[in-house]
Structure 1
């Protein structure tokens, strides 16, 4: 099948836009690859420090004739998704020994759980933790004694941060090694119903706690299709996972076999062998287009509209919101996974999952098939599924027919003809909306604005019964420069209650929503943000605002709007406490949300 014309056009536009930056990047990693790991050039004292605790691997490391893998781990047991990584280093080291190589834990990176910090002060550190992770991984890899790297991370900011680091050290081959989703618990729609009942005062905190604990109940990624699971999808579409490894549950024999196989593959693709595959060559323009296509086809997280440009910049590739919008117009929504549907990622995987989707999209010319991947054989390898038969790991052709058309459908009969995201722009700025879970009748709203500078004030207004008519709720000064751009997910239940009461309601914000953004229309990531002089800071209570996700419009319908003065906000309360004082330089130097809100890479 010939490549779709829009996919080809967007790819060429990205190539042209990125030409100079990508050229400089490739030159840089080529020089690093030519120099190679410095083990042979380190002083005896340097090497003694590097290998002092390596026991039986010490001799191999000193000889320097076999590849050495650097393990970057985001393990902690605060994140259920990362708890399984506790045992991975030992397994990886043994697999490396068995294959004739070595492996060392190069370093750990922080990993915060957005589920714990939702609606809390700590969420103001969340987005910037991505750049801290990239920097921490950079410190770990700076020892320059590795021929390849394995990146152990799953959740929201962790994978993007690790990709930025992997791209920065793009002369090294690298694989991303997942841990898999927790087994299914309380259905996500039932959990959401209890949250709305609690917000409306219909049930007590005991019922809310019971529902939350039944939903988040064991090791593994949360099972809804939010940012963490969107990350896992992305790593397959972009060729950084082994095929079919994203959604295998923790503790399963297949999970362990895939981790060992990732170790062997990392050893095979170093510069010491005949199949050198540096990450910087995997992460090219085509790979990022494939990632965006996967995001659209699955109805994935809006957070990736921030993370993908940041990841791409680290590899010398420049993405723009228009790329997401144009690809969304031609990529059909093939999956219905909560919050877009009732199923969770385990159900999605059982219905055919990523192997089915990639096969379908390739057959319709909606993906680049000729990308370099860690698995080899182009992206077609990712239409296969791993099988563990009599202890042997093999890949078989994945399903060509969906096992459940309520969850997963072919390109010829999708849930909707276009993808899950829209660009909205106008005299307020540029923004995005996740429309895959928003009913068509809720995608266009024209109403008076109510303006807030804090999500807690929105909640207070709701409790006071202040929302009695159609309303555009504006929450500004929530961007990265203002307060670190916390997710405003805790507003979802109360806005959903208003929607269920028959009101037309939408959110407009320069902040973020969760990867679990649901049925409430939300124009988010408004750029430029209020703290950088964006027009959102000129809005006043009572302004007539139009939010139109069908036409891509976000505008104020008031004469003289552009000439207004900026309404300043008091941000002093966001400057200290729970570590926020440590991030002042991040708030001062970060880029625009539309460009990835980067600090480490601009």
Structure 2
């Protein structure tokens, strides 16, 4: 089928607006590629330092004739998704030797667990950690002795930061290596039910802890479809993973075989061979459009609306919110994975997963089929799934029929005819809403405002019984300039309880929600943010506010709204404690949410 007209139009618009920046970027990486890795140009002392610890690989490194693969790892024990990476370097080095290559850990990058910091002060460093990860990866790769790079990362800010680094070092190939999701534990809907029971005082902390530990129970990615798993989807749609590698569980023979295959492929696509695939050419405009289509078709994380523009900018490509909205308008929702449904990512993978969805979207003309990927030419390669047969890794065509139509559906019979995200514009600013999990009767909310400057104040008001009527909860001064834009995930159970009591409830904020934001309508990432003098700073308690995901508007209906003076009602001390003072420079220089809330690109 020919390419959908809207997808073609949006792609052309991105190419046109990015023409100058993309040309400069491609010229830059072409010059770096022509210069080549500097191993051959290092002094003897430089080389001795670089290879001193490499034992049996020293001779191969010193001659400079074998591909040398740099490993950037986000391993730590704090993230269950990253704990499996502990053993990967040894596996990678051995796999590289078998194909005549070498591999070195070029550097580690920080990786914080948002699950630990949700609702805590540390969450105010979370978004900025993405840019720190890009910087840390750049330090590792700046030794300039690598023909390709392997990026070991999974979770929320880690993959976007690594992609920013891979684009910046776009003159060398980049293969992303996942670790896979943990096996299914307590069903996500049951976990959510216990959270709401705790929020309303029906159960104690002992029952809450029991439910949480039964849900997050072993190494591997959390199984709900939040930002971490949206990242993994994105890497396949954009061609940076090997096909079908995203959702294979850790500690399995197939997982290890895919890691080995990633090493072998990285060695094959360097400039030393005949299939050179530099990351900067893989990360082109079509790849980013395909990634946005995947985000919409799967009901993925709202955090990717922030990350994709920042990732694209590192590759000289300019994305705008209008691109997301237009692509969403023609992309059907083909997956129902928690919080958009009851299934987790393991169930999704078993039902056909990404290979099935990519095939459906290609057949429906919604994806660019002719992209360059690390696996080879064309996205059709990603309609195959890996199998380990008699110890040999092979790729076979995935089933052309859904294995469970309650989880994945064909494009001809989607869960919704349009994607999961909606652009909102009005006198309150420019924001987005994830509508894939919001019931249609809640797409339009008109109610009086209650204004807060942090989520703890909302919870306190809830416990005090202050919400007795339909309400639009406004939480301002949560943008990147104010406090680093922490996720307001802690509001989800509270607002869900109010909604379940029969109230019409919506959230409007210049902050962000978790990738697990669900059934409560939430206008998020509102720009300009309050700290920049944005309209949210003029909202007062009692204002009538209309949040309309059908018309795509967010409006304060107070007659004097536009003439009011902004109010800064933040509590003192913002920006100090638990390392926040180290990030003052970031808060002063960060860009707006609409451009990815980026510092370093």
Q: TM-score, normalised by structure 1?
A: 0.99
Q: Distance in 2 between matches of 1:431 and 1:338?
A: 23
> 2:82–2:153: 8 Å Cα contact kept in structure 1?
yes
Q: Which runs of 5+ in 1 are unaligned?
A: none
Q: Distance in 2 between matches of 1:183 and 1:156?
A: 19
Instruction: Give CA deviations for 1:447-471 in whole Å, capped at 9, x if unaligned.
Output: 1100001111101000000000000
Structure-1 residue corresponding to 2:520: 520
Q: Distance in 1 between matches of 2:219 and 2:560?
A: 55
Structure-2 residue corresponding to 1:79: 79
Q: How does 1:33-432 map to 2 (within 5 A)?
A: 33-432=33-432
> 1:483–1:571: 8 Å Cα contact kept in structure 2?
no
Instruction: Give CA deviations for 1:5-55 in whole Å, capped at 9, x if unaligned.
Output: 000000001001111110100010000000000000000000000000000
Greater shift, 111-120 or 531-540, is seen at 531-540
Q: Distance in 1 between matches of 2:392 and 2:543?
A: 65
Q: Distance in 2 between matches of 1:559 and 1:571?
A: 28
> 2:81–2:220: 8 Å Cα contact kept in structure 1?
yes
| Number of equivalent positions | 601
Greater shift, 73-82 or 573-582, is seen at 573-582
Q: Which runs of 5+ in 2 are unaligned?
A: none
Structure-2 residue corresponding to 1:488: 488
Structure-1 residue corresponding to 2:579: 579
> 1:469–1:503: 8 Å Cα contact kept in structure 2?
yes
- Where 2:381 maps in the other structure, the secondary structure is helix
Structure-2 residue corresponding to 1:436: 436
Q: Distance in 2 between matches of 1:559 and 1:313?
A: 39
Q: Distance in 1 between matches of 2:378 and 2:567?
A: 52
Structure-1 residue corresponding to 2:452: 452
> 2:476–2:530: 8 Å Cα contact kept in structure 1?
yes
Q: Distance in 1 between matches of 2:448 and 2:62?
A: 70
Structure-1 residue corresponding to 2:475: 475
Give how far 1:550 is off. Answer: 1.0
Instruction: Give CA deviations for 1:369-415 in whole Å, capped at 9, x if unaligned.
Output: 00010000310000000011001111000110000000000000000
> 1:243–1:386: 8 Å Cα contact kept in structure 2?
yes
> 1:164–1:310: 8 Å Cα contact kept in structure 2?
yes
- The answer to whether structure 1 residue 507 and structure 2 residue 507 are counterparts is yes
Give how far 1:574 is off. Answer: 2.1
> 1:476–1:536: 8 Å Cα contact kept in structure 2?
yes
Q: Distance in 2 between matches of 1:376 and 1:191?
A: 41
- Where 2:341 maps in the other structure, the secondary structure is coil
Instruction: Give CA deviations for 1:96-117 in whole Å, capped at 9, x if unaligned.
Output: 0001000000000000000000
- Where 2:149 maps in the other structure, the secondary structure is strand
Q: Distance in 2 between matches of 1:91 and 1:599?
A: 35
> 1:369–1:380: 8 Å Cα contact kept in structure 2?
yes
Q: Distance in 1 between matches of 2:399 and 2:314?
A: 35
Structure-1 residue corresponding to 2:14: 14
Q: Distance in 2 between matches of 1:256 and 1:409?
A: 30
Q: Distance in 2 between matches of 1:19 and 1:573?
A: 44
Q: Distance in 2 between matches of 1:301 and 1:242?
A: 22
> 1:482–1:571: 8 Å Cα contact kept in structure 2?
no
Give how far 1:572 is off. Answer: 3.7
Q: Distance in 2 between matches of 1:82 and 1:164?
A: 19
Q: Distance in 1 between matches of 2:180 and 2:65?
A: 34
> 1:182–1:223: 8 Å Cα contact kept in structure 2?
yes
Greater shift, 446-455 or 230-239, is seen at 446-455
Give how far 1:571 is off. Answer: 5.5
Give how far 1:569 is off. Answer: 3.1
Q: Distance in 1 between matches of 2:570 and 2:437?
A: 34
Give how far 1:573 is off. Answer: 2.1
Greater shift, 312-321 or 566-575, is seen at 566-575
Q: Distance in 2 between matches of 1:144 and 1:574?
A: 40
Q: Distance in 1 between matches of 2:466 and 2:578?
A: 32
> 2:477–2:570: 8 Å Cα contact kept in structure 1?
no
Give how far 1:560 is off. Answer: 2.4
Q: Distance in 2 between matches of 1:166 and 1:533?
A: 35
